[in-house]
Amino acid sequence: MERAAAADAEIYRVDDLIVDAGQRRVFRGDTELQLPGLSFDLLLALVRAAPNLLTHDELMQRVWPGLVINSETVSQRVKLVRQALGDDPQAPRYIVGVRGRGYRLKAPVIEIERPLRAADKPCVAAPAPEVPKTPEPATVVPLHGNAVAAQKPLEQPAAIVGTPFAQSPDAHPAAPAAAPSGRANMLRSWLFVLVPVAAALAFILGHRFLTASNAPVASTSVVVREPKSVAVLPLIGLSPDRKYEYLGDGLAEELSSRLARIPGLRVASRTSAFAFKDRGTDVRTIGQKLGVEHVVEGSIRREGDRLRVTAQLIDARTGFELWSQSYDRRWRDVLAVQDELAHSIVEALQLVLTPDAARRLEQSRQPVDLAAYDLYLAGLARLRQPRESALDEAEQAFLQALSADPHFARANAGLCRTYVTRYERTRAAAAAAQAESACGQALSQDPAHEEVQTALANLYLISGRSERALDIFSRAIGAHPDSADAFIGYARALEALRRYDEAERAYRAAIDAQPGYWDAHTALGNFLLHQGRVAEAVVPYRRVTELVPASALAFNNLGAALLLTGDFSGAAQAFERSLELEPTRSAYSNAGTVYYFMGRLDDAERMFTRATEIAGEDHRVWGNLADALYRDPARRDEAARHYRRAILLAERDLAVNDEDAVTWAQLGYYYARIGDLGRAQQYVKRARSRGSTVFWAHYYFALVALAAGDRSAAVEDLRQALELGYPRHLLAAEPEFASLRDDRRFRELTLASQSP
């Protein structure tokens, strides 16, 4: 039954489900089911057509209008809808597939002529204020909207968004300043600026300890003689086997999260405390910088089945030890050791738990498989490492953790973050679907947990649902005004909402909170680069290379900024150093860009080819390679094959997120290169309708206008690109603009670029 009613009036009962087309929400009784935007669109198309069958082609037209996709994409989306509804494809209750043809709804469909009862419609939290003065309880916002997609032509792994933000239920931190944001851009489709998310992601993930305890808990009233505050430093790893190095960080994070549940106790955020790892800073200095009265430090040693943990509670004002304890146990007792540590510190701080606080602690002690927990900590450790190859290792660790304990929500949250990062780095469509699935699993298992909420916020952020991400990050700032990660995540949402002044203040607030935190400097550099302030971006990027000199991504980012300033020699050196540290697609592609501008097309081709070998599902690297080949008229047929490959991959990306204006512009450019100006101009029109303020979009508009012979339009788009931050000195160096060099208006732009 095809329905032509207005979307806001469409409400359907589908067996035991309520499908609200206006609100784009699905309920089973009082429970809202989590369907991403494309999943909802597909379900609604089937509902409107029921009981008739929709062919694959019809579903493509209704769910992905204007895009070229294949039946496999439809099948994968149907699979995600079935998972969300709990529908068994072998014995379907809702969706039936007809082999080789399409899908239809088996369940009966009735259109409801009244709005949903209030009881059936849980309230969605309104957008949070820019910076809340008090923390709010965590909420889960449904996964509406499109799936994961980067929104800028530069590869930006899902960096620095939200952190554990442990928070005392009774704490009321002061309101911070503005909030953050951060993504860089790339030169043409070539220049990749990367946030080392492998390391950043784990900074984002909070940890709570899930175990039972045999320690007695007092049940009297809280007695707090004065406000208490504490920071838990990473435990020093003393294990003979270096593979256990992650345990010191993991145990400290778990302890922080446990202590944060104590009323009247303020716990410094993980990233704030961990900024002092391996620095040998005096504990009194740490206390002063973090604004805490007490510091917990210690060591951990694992050898075979044996575990030894030592811990000390120190008065940060005097440097005197208040309490210390050593634990010699078997490895299987590690969770109990964590529990005993928390209770001992509570007693040493002279805090007595109320019954309500005791219940909170008991609720946090959910059983967890020890092997799964160990693998989970190992996965987080991999995500902290600024190596691209660490992403595969993190994925394997999380998958193994889930194999040991399929209901471990934090492992699913970590897996979601891993897939989000992979999608941003590689544009692999499978990673977007995997991220949706993992995040959905985590939400169904523990929707209120900080790690799950953080994973959800990151998914919202990179898929264009920035207001929802802003809501989660604003709560995080309220809970932890000293957390650089919270500011950075909030800033990225502000930047996506084009609130640039607030975003910059928040990026700088992140650095003020943690001056030695390399990711805060990276985020500011990305923002400045995106704003076209490339000379300013060099400063924070260079600082990152000093803070993490073994990071390939740090030198890649520095090279990108130097390239945009016109320092080709300095950029080449930075990219070469990046490749020495770790061969990555981004560094190969950026090195190719340098050679392209230097006229070394053979070297450019070689570098771009290596980039396609590493990341063959990213349309941008295929476009880069095609551009290098296109410069040789004898190789344009070969270039056309690569442009067609880029077209297929770009269209697949837009099936994930069709709000990405730059990808629409790039798609138009690829079609112009193969001579299809009709489609090229059609896609440029779509890009313009997205209202992009990114200069790369106007750069591609100019190239399409040139291909169509409209020099006036090309010059006008270049003027707009310059106003938005496109580096003026590149106008003269860019080979694509050679045909405009006899145009007076273009020469004026070029001369302006040479003005002081």
- Burial label for 270, CB within 10 Å (0-12, 13-18, 19+), is buried
Query: Residue 99 CB: number of other CB atoms within 10 A?
Result: 5
Mean pLDDT across 128-141: 30
The reported pLDDT for the residue numbered 140 is 27
Residue with tokens 């190719």: 592
Distance CA 191, CA 616 (A): 16
**Any bridge partners for residue 104, and if so which?**
96
Q: At what angle do helices 711-723 and 695-707 cross, to 10 degrees?
A: 170
The reported pLDDT for the residue numbered 452 is 81
- Both 112 and 233 in one domain: the answer is no
Mean pLDDT across 146-172: 30
236-237 and 294-303 strand pairing: parallel
Mean pLDDT across 95-110: 88
Which residue would you say has higher pLDDT here, 359 or 696? 696
For residue 66, what are its two tokens? 């204007």
Phi, psi of 606 (to 5 degrees): -60, -45
What whole-number percentage of the chain has pLDDT above 90? 28
384-438 pLDDT tens trace: 665 677 888 999 999 999 999 999 998 999 999 898 888 777 777 788 788 888 9
Residue environment code for 398-419, b if the CB has 16+ CB neighbours within 10 A, otherwise e: bbbbbebbebbbbbbbbbbbbb
Instruction: Write out the DSSP string of 412-459.
Output: HHHHHHHHHHHHHHH--HHHHHHHHHHHHHHHHH-TT-HHHHHHHHHH
**Any bridge partners for residue 102, and if so which?**
55, 98
For residue 360, what are its two tokens? 């909170």
Residue with tokens 């933000």: 165
HEC secondary structure over 207-232: CCCCCCCCCCCCCCCCCCCCCEEEEE
pTM of the model: 0.59
The reported pLDDT for the residue numbered 634 is 95
Which residue would you say has higher pLDDT here, 516 or 122? 516
For residue 700, what are its two tokens? 């591609």
Domain containing 685 — which CATH number?
A: 1.25.40.10
228-232 and 294-303 strand pairing: parallel
The reported pLDDT for the residue numbered 642 is 96
Least confident of 109-118, 238-247, 611-620: 109-118
- Both 359 and 233 in one domain: the answer is yes
- Residue 588, SS3 per DSSP: helix
The reported pLDDT for the residue numbered 225 is 40
Domain containing 13 — which CATH number?
A: 1.10.10.10
How would residue 381 be classed by pLDDT, with cut points 50, 70 and 90?
confident
Distance CA 614, CA 233 (A): 38
Expressed as residue numbers, the domain containing 27 is 7-120
- Both 232 and 359 in one domain: the answer is yes
Q: Would you say residue 12 lies in a domain? A: yes
- Say if residue 334's pLDDT is above 80: yes
Which of 75-84, 138-147, 493-502, 663-672 tops mean pLDDT? 663-672
The reported pLDDT for the residue numbered 683 is 94
Q: Would you say residue 732 lies in a domain? A: yes
- DSSP label of 681: H
The reported pLDDT for the residue numbered 352 is 61
Q: Would you say residue 664 lies in a domain? A: yes
How would residue 250 be classed by pLDDT, with cut points 50, 70 and 90?
confident
What residue type is 683 in one-letter code? Y
> In the listed set 91, 120, 149, which residue is the last one of a domain according to the structure?
120
Q: Would you say residue 349 lies in a domain? A: yes
The reported pLDDT for the residue numbered 664 is 94
Mean pLDDT across 517-532: 89
Which residue would you say has higher pLDDT here, 129 or 593? 593
What residue type is 495 in one-letter code? E
| Alpha-carbon distances, residue 613 vs 310, 609, 744 (angstroms) | 48, 6, 42
The reported pLDDT for the residue numbered 94 is 93
Cα-to-chain-centroid distance, residue 5: 37
- Say if residue 108's pLDDT is above 80: yes
Helix (H) or strand (E) holding 385: none
Of 101, 75, 69, 108, nearest to 89 (Cα)?
75
CB of 146 within 8 A of CB of 656?
A: yes
For residue 254, what are its two tokens? 């778990």
Q: Would you say residue 347 lies in a domain? A: yes
> In the listed set 81, 96, 120, which residue is the last one of a domain according to the structure?
120
CB of 166 within 8 A of CB of 267?
A: yes
How many structural domains comprise the chain?
A: 3
What whole-number percentage of the chain has pLDDT above 70? 79
Distance CA 225, CA 349 (A): 10
Mean pLDDT across 493-501: 91
HEC secondary structure over 291-307: CCCEEEEEEEEEECCEE
Q: Would you say residue 630 lies in a domain? A: no
How many residues in the chain?
Answer: 756
Give residues with Cβ within 8 angstroms of 202, minimum separation 6: 380, 381, 383, 384, 414
Q: Mean pLDDT score of the chain, rounded to an integer?
A: 77
Mean pLDDT across 347-361: 68
Task: Work out the end-to-end distance of the chain between its first and last CA atoms, rounded to an integer number of angstroms.
Answer: 67
How would residue 68 be classed by pLDDT, with cut points 50, 70 and 90?
low
> In the listed set 120, 155, 175, which residue is the last one of a domain according to the structure?
120
- Say if residue 145's pLDDT is above 60: no
| Alpha-carbon distances, residue 48 vs 1, 111, 200, 440 (angstroms) | 6, 9, 44, 25
Q: Would you say residue 54 lies in a domain? A: yes
528-551 pLDDT tens trace: 988 888 899 999 999 989 887 888
Torsion of the alpha carbons at 611, 616, 618 and 624, rounded to the nearest 10: 40
Q: Would you say residue 177 lies in a domain? A: no
Distance CA 272, CA 571 (A): 32
